[in-house]
Amino acid sequence: MSKRIVINPLTRISGFMEIEVTVDRNEIVDAKTTGNLFRGFEQMLVGRSPFDAVYFTQRICGICSAAHSMASSLALEDALAIEPLEQGRYLRDIIHCCEFLQNHIRHFYQYTAPDYVFIGENVLFQADHNDFRLPKNVNDRLSRHYFESLPISRSAHQMLAVLGGKAPHNHGVFIGGITTQATSEKIVQLDEILQTITAFIEEKMIPDVYDIARYYPEYFRMGGGYGNLLTFGSFNNYKELGTLYVDPLVSTPELEYPEPFDENKITEKIDYSWFKSKQNTYLPDETVPEPDRDKQKAYSWVKSPRYNGLPMEVGPLARLILSGAYENGISAMDRTIARALEAKKIADIMKTLLRKVVPGVDMQKKYELPEMATGRGLVDTTRGALGHWLKIQDRKLSFYQIITPSTWDFSPRDDKGFRGVAEQALIGAPVDDPDNPAEIGRILRSFDPCMSCATHVFSKGKQVKTIKVF
């Protein structure tokens, strides 16, 4: 007998989300996640000054705002034909590193850990399930680290502010690199904080995640999904340093080795999304479709980006595997481990970049806008591949398209019958107690969904629930 489970809200994510699954004989046989990237940023941006995109698009998301400043700055550099100084790239990427660190530490301790660790008696930590397996001494240690991690993630944002003015919603990332200049004082300030963060990751965060993995081993066999992986590249292609992390690559289970990523193979589909356009499949810079909430079959505001027609997983695990640094497998637990391992990698990258920074380099100019131009900025951010596509006409923005990592991971179905990545990852997962399902939230949170925008969910036969995605 099949049973329908709805979780709304899925807490401990950024923003709001609902998930509906069908369970048959304690196994998930169908799943619908509906995220919505429709607060209407793409509409809001039309007519604004192109320069304002950098600060405006950060307001899409409070936990990953620097990511949008990165993608919009890259898109504007493309449109204005500006090549940043290598010093500008270093400093901008250091700011991006700070966001990775803040994000990964908070996602693991504040969002993920309460799924597996009993944090304490505080009302905030009352859970719905009772599947807490850690021995008392381990549980006590991880619960202490929940609180010890707060000054650490806070200090990651503090580093971000040293170069970026404030966080969240920084002022530093901009066309050409960052707005201010590095000074010796700032460099050592960052280096000291980074040492503390690195020690925390090595001595606490990574051992903690492996402790959880030891007591919840079945999660290595749950939440796998398609196994299609994509990255736009991350901390790569420096003139002197080469690639510190990963180049733009894709892989599928059929491929023996990853292939180079080709941006022309990205399409978006809206067959099951509440949008209308002349065609249901289009290129990112072709069209921003009109909303149409009465559309038949549609059940989500999220569109379905595809690569070469396939849904692709993005994020830390995809990056680690594609860079050759992780081989264990693809599962909910591998994703959670990858996030901790990547935090260490990012801390090391930041240290390398910091060594290359030269104080006093002014990378800003008085920029002029072209009458007409197009640009795109593709960059891997905390949660995966982020793309901004923009067009300028009469020195104003005339078009803006945003495809976020969580769009890749939380898309609805498409015309070929492919489910979205997270939907597929849920299929086949066991649900021990359908009245108190711990498994669904654990699998979904392994993707680190960022849902800070209104998301509408359709549940069978009935109208309509809403969720927020960005």
Partner 1 sequence: MKKVVLPPESLTNEAIAARLTNAADENLKKGLINKRNLVYLELNGCSGNIISLLNGQNPSFEYTLNSLVDLRYSNSLMAAEGERASEKLMAVLDEDFILAVEGAVALKNNGLYNVIGSLDGQPLTGLQAATILGERASHILAVGACATHGGVSAAKPNPSESVSLQQVLLDREMIKLPGCPVNPDWFLGTLAHLLLYGEPETDNLGRPLMFYSTLIHDRCPRRPFFDRGIFAEKLGDKTCLFKLGCRGPVTRTDCPTRQWNGRVNWPIGDDTPCIGCSQFGFPDAMAPFISFDTTRVVKDE
Q: Is 365 in the site for partner 1 (CB under 8 A)?
A: yes
Q: Would you say 345 or 442 has its CB closer to partner 1?
A: 442
DSSP per-residue string spanning 309-333:
TB--B-SHHHHHHHTTS--S--SHH
Site for partner 1 in 42-71 (CB under 8 A): 43-44, 48-49, 51-52, 55-56, 59-63, 65
**Which helix or strand (DSSP H or E) is residue 341 part of?**
helix 332-356
16 CB-contact burial (10 Å; exposed 0-12 / middle 13-18 / buried 19+) = buried
Q: How many CA atoms lie within 13 A of 291 on its CB side?
A: 15
DSSP per-residue string spanning 26-70:
TEEEEEEEE----S-HHHHHTTS-GGGHHHHGGGG-SSSHHHHHH
Please state the closest distance from residue 100 (CB atom) to partner 1, in A. Answer: 14
Which segment (77-85, 271-279, 426-434, 462-470) binds partner 1 by CB under 8 A? 462-470
Q: Would you say 111 or 307 has its CB closer to partner 1?
A: 111
Q: Would you say 114 or 233 has its CB closer to partner 1?
A: 114
One residue of 158, 252, 328, 398 binding partner 1 per CB under 8 A: 158
| Mode of pairing for the β-strands spanning 14-15 and 450-451 | parallel
Single-letter amino acid code for the residue at 271: D
Query: By rule CB under 8 A, what string of x and - marks binding of each residue 277-316 to partner 1?
Result: --------------x-x-----------------------
Please state the closest distance from residue 224 (CB atom) to partner 1, in A. Answer: 22
Q: Would you say 305 or 437 has its CB closer to partner 1?
A: 437
Tokens of 99: 């966001």
Site for partner 1 in 134-153 (CB under 8 A): 147, 150-151, 153
Site size toward partner 1 (CB under 8 A) is 87
One residue of 252, 281, 287, 364 binding partner 1 per CB under 8 A: 364
Q: Is 179 in the site for partner 1 (CB under 8 A)?
A: yes
Maximum CA extent, the chain: 69
Q: Would you say 245 or 458 has its CB closer to partner 1?
A: 458
What distances in angstroms separate CA 414 from CA 110, 122, 180, 298, 387, one per listed residue?
A: 33, 43, 45, 10, 20
Site for partner 1 in 218-237 (CB under 8 A): none
Q: Is the dihedral of CA 260, 267, 325, 155 positive or negative?
A: positive
Please state the closest distance from residue 255 (CB atom) to partner 1, in A. Answer: 37
One residue of 22, 86, 140, 189 binding partner 1 per CB under 8 A: 189
- Phi/psi-derived region of residue 217, left when phi > 0, alpha when psi is between -120 and 50, beta in every other case: alpha
One residue of 215, 220, 238, 367 binding partner 1 per CB under 8 A: 367
Judge whether 430 and 23 are in contact, CB under 8 Å: no
Please state the closest distance from residue 229 (CB atom) to partner 1, in A. Answer: 28
One residue of 24, 27, 128, 262 binding partner 1 per CB under 8 A: 128
One residue of 123, 256, 294, 327 binding partner 1 per CB under 8 A: 123
Single-letter amino acid code for the residue at 253: P
Which segment (108-116, 205-213, 228-236, 379-387) binds partner 1 by CB under 8 A? 108-116
Q: Would you say 98 or 250 has its CB closer to partner 1?
A: 98
Please state the closest distance from residue 285 (CB atom) to partner 1, in A. Answer: 21
Site for partner 1 in 401-460 (CB under 8 A): 441, 452, 454, 456-457
Please state the closest distance from residue 14 (CB atom) to partner 1, in A. Answer: 5
| Mode of pairing for the β-strands spanning 454-459 and 462-468 | antiparallel
What residues contact 29, with CB distance under 8 A and at least 6 apart? 2, 22, 23, 427
One residue of 87, 139, 181, 401 binding partner 1 per CB under 8 A: 181
| Mode of pairing for the β-strands spanning 229-231 and 177-178 | unpaired
Q: By three-state DSSP, how is residue 413 classified?
A: coil
Site for partner 1 in 339-358 (CB under 8 A): none
Please state the closest distance from residue 173 (CB atom) to partner 1, in A. Answer: 10
Q: Is 154 in the site for partner 1 (CB under 8 A)?
A: yes
Phi–psi pair at 45, nearest 5 degrees: -75, -25
